[in-house]
Amino acid sequence: MSDLVLMTGATGFVGRRLLRVWLEKTPARIVVLTRPQNGNATAARCGVGDPKLAEDFSRRVKVLAADLTDPQLGLPPVLRSDLATEVTDIVHCGGLVRFDASLADARATNTAGTAAMLELARQCPRLRRFDHISTAFVAGCRKGVIREDELDVGQRHHNGYERSKLEAELLVHKAAAELPTTVHRPSIITCDTATGELAPFGAVARLLGAYASGSLTVLPGHPDTHLDLVPVDYVTDAVFAIAADAASLGGCFHLAAGRDRSPNLGEVRDLAAAHFQRPPLLIGGDTSTLPTAIRAEVELYAPYLTSDLDFAVTETGRFLDKAGVVLPAFADYFAAMARGVRSLTNQSQRTIRKQSRFIR
């Protein structure tokens, strides 16, 4: 019987790329669990964006409607049982990535959803590994160096997203006594280095887009504060490389740049000014002068602009060096990211013009 990978989150910015990597680098069949939109769990929402993979997708990928907030994942009992007998690998990337979500809403998807996936994993006799996509920001309000083998040291959190992801990771760590688990913790995800594509509602796209349009002129923080930024293709290549190595079972990995390879706010400011040809951002100025909507966004992301966390990447480096996965320098792919920001801005303007034709 061939391998069967069960994947969640494959309609998201990271998940779509994980699906593509698994299609490109393995012969496995893949079942994608996705929340329906308008009553449908369509394969189109998981599109891998490469015509060369279209045949593979239609032949090897099956999309099922599911619900992470349901303890049974919204799967009919017979289908759930049949699925469990075949699954060899689980890649759990699904979740609610909203910093303004309530703790209850974040827990319903991120914590309870992980519990539901772990319960399904316990029913999979062929299971070889459970790869859980967490976040480096389970570190919350901690300061200084964050080791890969650290999790709950009594830290507070900036929002429900961070807290719910820590609680989910605690469940995974507890389950490691009986399941073959691995935890992946990305830091701040930027763009695809080849295409420049960004998550349209992510912090990087929102803040850079606001700066490019002229509505964002000031940020909190200090020019010397480091931002741990990693491109999405690095993250997905790293997840696959680590998942492909049996020695990673039981481990936890920071998919992060680490202090030495992280740009500081001053460097990001200077690159943005050069590429968007606008006056440099004022860092550490009075954000109360910003338009209300922009100010609200800046306040939402302020903890990530000011915390200056140092994510240790010792174990991650050991595995990725062996696999040949290299983190590109931030300055080397900023031009691609700037193109991605402009593309999102143009799409938004086209949408506004199209909608305006129907307003009388």
Q: Is the pLDDT of residue 38 over 70?
A: no
Closest CA to 27 of 89, 73, 81: 89
Coil, strand or helix: which one is 197?
coil
CA triple 287-290-296, angle to 5 deg: 80
The encoded tokens of residue 120 equal 């399904």
pLDDT value at 54 more than 90: no
Question: How far from 94 is each of 85, 132, 138, 200, CA to CA, in Å?
Answer: 22, 9, 16, 17
**If pLDDT is split at 50, 70 and 90, which confidence band does 46 have?**
low
Does position 270 have pLDDT exceeding 90, yes or no? yes
pLDDT at 88: 98
**Whole-number average pLDDT of the chain:** 93
User: Which residue from 223, 206, 341 is spatially nearest to 281, judged by alpha carbons?
Assistant: 223
Cα separation, 129 vs 5, whole angstroms: 10
The average pLDDT across 41-48 equals: 56
Report the alpha-carbon distance of residue 155 to residue 309 in Å, rounded: 13
Q: CA angle 310-316-319, nearest 5°?
A: 160
* 253 pLDDT higher than 90: yes
Residue type present at position 140: G
Asked whether residue 72 carries a pLDDT value surpassing 70, the answer given is: yes
Mean pLDDT for 124-153 is 97
pLDDT over 80 (residue 50):
no
pLDDT of residue 49: 58
**Residue 345 pLDDT:** 87
Mean pLDDT to the nearest integer, 248-261: 98
Q: What is the pLDDT of residue 228?
A: 98
Q: What is the pLDDT of residues 288-299, one digit of tens each?
A: 999 999 999 999
DSSP label at residue 107: I
Task: Select from 1.10.10, 3.90.25, 1.10.1790, 3.40.50 the CATH code of 203-227+260-308+330-352.
Answer: 3.90.25
Question: Which candidate, 153, 169, 355, places its Cα nearest to that of 254?
Answer: 169
Q: Is residue 299 within 8 Å of residue 288, measured between CB atoms?
A: no
Q: Quick one: pLDDT at residue 61?
A: 95
User: Mean pLDDT lowest for which of 53-67, 269-283, 329-343, 344-358?
Assistant: 344-358
pLDDT of residue 42: 54
Is it the case that residue 179 has pLDDT exceeding 90?
A: yes
Write the burial class of residue 155 (CB in 10 Å: 0-12 exposed, 13-18 middle, 19+ buried). Answer: middle
Average pLDDT over residues 308-317: 96
Say which range, 54-63, 131-140, 168-177, 200-209, has the weakest mean pLDDT.
Answer: 54-63
Closest CA to 137 of 307, 344, 336, 331: 307
Rounded distance, CA 116 to CA 36, Å? 18
Residue with tokens 């891998």: 48
CATH class, domain 4-186, is alpha beta
Residues 143-153 have a mean pLDDT of 96
**Would the pLDDT of 249 be above 60?**
yes
| Per-residue confidence (pLDDT) for residue 357, from 0 to 100 | 40
Beta carbons within 8 Å of 207's beta carbon, 6+ residues apart? 216, 219, 297, 298, 301
Which run of H or of E encompasses 254?
Answer: strand 252-255
C-alpha–C-alpha distance, residues 178 and 124, integer Å: 12
* Phi and psi, residue 151, nearest 5°: -140, -85
Is residue 44 very low, low, confident or very high in pLDDT (cuts 50, 70, 90)? low
Question: Closest Cα to residue 187, out of 313, 63, 99?
Answer: 313
In our burial notation (b when 16+ CB lie closer than 10 A, e otherwise), range 253-267 reads: bbbbbbeebbbbbbb
- In this prediction, residues 37-61 reach a mean pLDDT of 69
Q: Which two tokens stand for residue 251?
A: 């481990």
CA 248 – CA 126 distance, rounded (Å):
18
pLDDT at 347: 83
HSE of 95, CA atoms in CB hemisphere, 13 A: 29
Q: In CATH terms, are 4-186 and 203-227+260-308+330-352 the same topology?
A: no
What residue ranges do the domains of the chain occupy?
4-186, 203-227+260-308+330-352
Query: In this model, does residue 43 exceed pLDDT 60?
Result: no
pLDDT at 358 over 90: no
Exposed e or buried b for every residue in 216-230, given b needs 16+ CB within 10 A? bbbbbbeeebbbbbb
